[in-house]
Structure 1
Amino acid sequence: MRGLARGGLVVGAAVIVVGGAIVLWPDAAVAHDPEISISRSSCGQGWTDPKPGPQTFLLHNTGSVTAEAYLVDPASGTVYGEVEGLGAGTTRPLQVTLGNGDYAFKCLPEETAAIVGPIAKVTGGDDKSSPGVSPVTNADLIGPLKSYRDHVIAGLGTLVDGTGALKAAVARQDRAASEAAWLTAHLSYERLGAAYDAFGDSDGVLNGTATDVTDPGFTGFHRLEYGLWHGEAMDALVPVANRLDDDVHELQRSFPDAQVDQADLGLRAHEIMENTLQFELTAKTDYGSGTNLATALANLDGTRAVLDVLRPLLVPRFPGLSGVDTWLNRAQSAVEGARRPDGTWTPVAQLTVPQRQKLDGAVSELAERLAPIAAIAEPRRVS
């Protein structure tokens, strides 16, 4: 798993919640669309003719600071649509479908308490409202984040044990034992996928790739993989293994002081599988071991770990969670089914067409079903 830039959320644009996912609507509107004003002192003015069905609101920030704005159920706080990063003096469209019920705009200017605008009652419609989501707050994420940090700290202990055994096997110049120990340690690292941003530069040092394997800056698991499976002298690989072990120990020492972004938990659940499709199921990260499918299985374990800590928040908010669980199991079955009869891993290039289709299909479907979790678990201001 490679660390990725944050994705999956649309910032500074008009968005609505659809089945838990955030969907971008084009910056297009027509003259009769109501203009809703947002400022530090007022919210939601301009909605004078509530009506059911699909419609577009033009959210206009008349204040002097950037703001967020939600269209909510004023009783439950359910969010039906939102605009993030609405700059002072700017206007953006928000398109929603409204069923019968009560609605209000909730405005959250920077450094100012939330303001809930006047309630609009919609009647006489046959449409259902756009799917909404109950907001997750920073406070809601404290428990899951602590649980995940504890999981990572325990995983780093396992990783340290693994690189210690790898270092010892390389020092003994036992290539077979070194290859086995390399795989064990590498998979321990790959299971920690949601913490990679918090690892900072360590992720590139430990698990980075290179087009030029002779580059002195190429270190870590893949440099050692290349040497072990391409017959490099074991003596020459001793400093590579020692450096890897030292860097893992340094990560273990530094991680307790690192900050895991609360938004990363939901985001990474999806990105781990995106990376699996991009890097592991294409063998782009194979430096000779042919173990990309083992890495894919470890990535699935990493995704499960994220879902485990988020599950209490997701169960009441995400009807699609059972489908995610189903496709997690199907993806795992597809990966495990591609192993050789003796239990060794089939290199991606040697997969049969049916095996490749089954793997790609299962992991792609899983990635799609995980996508809404980033939006659902994104921390939102409520006051």
Structure 2
Amino acid sequence: MIRLPAPRSRTGPLVAGGIVAAGGAVLIVCATAGHAPVPARTTTAAPAADGLPHTAIRVTAGSCGTGWSRPHPGQQVFDVRNDSAGPAEVDLYDPATGAVLGEVEGLAPGTTRPLQVTLGSGAFAFKCLPDDGDAVIGPTVRVPGHAVSGPAAVPVTQHDLIPPAIAYQKWIGARLGDLADAVATLRSDVDRGDLDAARTAWLPAHLVYERLGAAYGTFGDADKAINGTTAGLPKGADDPGFTGFHRLEQGLWHGESADRLRPVADRLATDVDTLRDGWSQARLDPAQLGLRAHEILENTERFEITGRTDYGSGSNLATARANLDGTRTVLGYLRPLLTTRYPALPRLDALLDRLQHTLDSHLTGGRPTPVDDLTTAQRERLHADLGQAVERLADIAALFDVRRTS
């Protein structure tokens, strides 16, 4: 799998209930750093140009959420102004459950930003998290009636993610042993000069690696050495920096001799053995698991089903299927946290099942259909199924973005 750049910092909404900003009914939080300031209002629940009632909320050094004096249910906007001396994150949450309905991140001093939410009946409060201080919780406000609130979720903490991260890291360690064995077989075939056998052994070995998708951030430079491509290399396929599985693929499917490929196979085996032997000392970042669950198939969409990483084997769809396995593995370790926070989990499972069925239809007889051989209808179906899964997995990335709670 081609790897995306380092993860981006959070600027979007806390997603819950399977709803994201592109999907219709949403929890919308305008919290980007470049948002133009909105003048603070002195009245509460006043209709604005957007047709929604607005309430001016103040944040100061010692108080949070003052100004909310006319609580009412329904869709509305809180214009949150920071009158303190430093930046802060501001959350609207349910004190009884800890579930967050909306957030404004990085609210600079003297700045006002809109926080749009749908409030139901119940008790709510604002929580302010200044960058250089402890949380300040505002007064609890009771909203009358019998309405139902919009999306909300209990924030995930670093502590929550440590057990699944440890379990996942142990799983990776076992798979690295399988990878080393598969690469040893591949290396032996090349060393004997049996390139037909090497072509047969290449794909199973590569797929073992592709199923390890959520660990690549921990692999560091080893990932590029083992699974890098020609992207950015001045000499392309002839560049000395082109190593690993795809360099071997290039040679095996483009008529290179065993003599030329032996050093490539040796280097691959050495790099894999080094990664396996050092894995017990690696430290997988628990906070990255949710993001990686999304990025695995995001990368698949960008690089595999477009054929951009095909160096002759025509195996991109088999790689995509392995990436799906990797995604399901990560979600499996996160599932105990998801079941209590993400009501749309059955919908996500159904989308992944449909994507699996589509990919499997192109892997008949153990030989994947090359991407270029797909019909237009097949290509459109694959892009649609994968795109919907990637969109839904963005919810997971947002939900597992670790947030301060105190």
Work out whether the TM-score is over 0.5: yes
Distance in 2 of aligned mates of 1:346 and 1:261: 36
Within the candidate set 243, 265, 270, 2:294 is matched to 270
Distance in 2 of aligned mates of 1:197 and 1:330: 28
Return closer, same or farther for 1:2/1:329 CA change in 2, 3 Å cut-off.
Answer: same
Q: Is 2:58 the partner of 1:34? A: no
Return closer, same or farther for 1:143/1:59 CA change in 2, 3 Å cut-off.
Answer: same
Q: Is 2:131 the partner of 1:110? A: yes
Residue equivalent to 1:183: 203
Distance in 2 of aligned mates of 1:378 and 1:156: 27
Distance in 2 of aligned mates of 1:89 and 1:260: 39
Q: Is the Cα–Cα contact under 8 Å of residues 193 and 303 in structure 1 kept in the other structure?
A: yes
Q: Is the Cα–Cα contact under 8 Å of residues 277 and 364 in structure 1 kept in the other structure?
A: yes
Distance in 2 of aligned mates of 1:77 and 1:323: 25
Q: Is the Cα–Cα contact under 8 Å of residues 338 and 355 in structure 1 kept in the other structure?
A: no
Listed as ranges, the gaps of 5+ residues in structure 1 are none
**How large is the Cα RMSD of the aligned pairs?**
2.2
Listed as ranges, the gaps of 5+ residues in structure 2 are 22-27, 42-53
Q: Is 2:17 the partner of 1:19? A: yes
What TM-score do you get using the length of structure 1 for normalisation? 0.92
Q: Is the Cα–Cα contact under 8 Å of residues 296 and 323 in structure 2 kept in the other structure?
A: yes
What TM-score do you get using the length of structure 2 for normalisation? 0.87
Within the candidate set 60, 64, 68, 2:89 is matched to 68
Distance in 1 of aligned mates of 2:164 and 2:61: 33
Q: Is the Cα–Cα contact under 8 Å of residues 17 and 130 in structure 1 kept in the other structure?
A: no
Select between 48-57 and 200-209 the one with higher mean Cα deviation: 48-57
Q: Is 2:357 the partner of 1:359? A: no
Q: CA deviation at 1:46?
A: 2.3
What per-residue deviation string (whole Å, max 9, x for no partner) do you get for residues 299-343 of structure 1?
011001101100000011111111111121211111111124x33
The SS at the match of 1:83 is strand
Q: CA deviation at 1:297?
A: 0.8
Paired residues for 1:114-153 under 5 Å: 114-124=135-145, 128-153=148-173
Distance in 1 of aligned mates of 2:5 and 2:77: 31
What per-residue deviation string (whole Å, max 9, x for no partner) do you get for residues 47-96 of structure 1?
22223222222223333443222100111111000122233443322111
What per-residue deviation string (whole Å, max 9, x for no partner) do you get for residues 6-52 of structure 1?
558742x6x35453556465547565443333355322122222232
Q: Is the Cα–Cα contact under 8 Å of residues 83 and 110 in structure 2 kept in the other structure?
A: yes
Paired residues for 1:1-383 under 5 Å: 1-5=1-5, 10-11=10-11, 15=13, 17=15, 19-20=17-18, 23=21, 25-26=29-30, 27=35, 29=38, 32=41, 33-124=54-145, 128-211=148-231, 212-340=236-364, 342-383=365-406
What fraction of aligned residue pairs are identical, expressed as a percent?
51
Distance in 2 of aligned mates of 1:263 and 1:20: 20
Aligned positions, number: 379
Q: CA deviation at 1:134?
A: 1.5
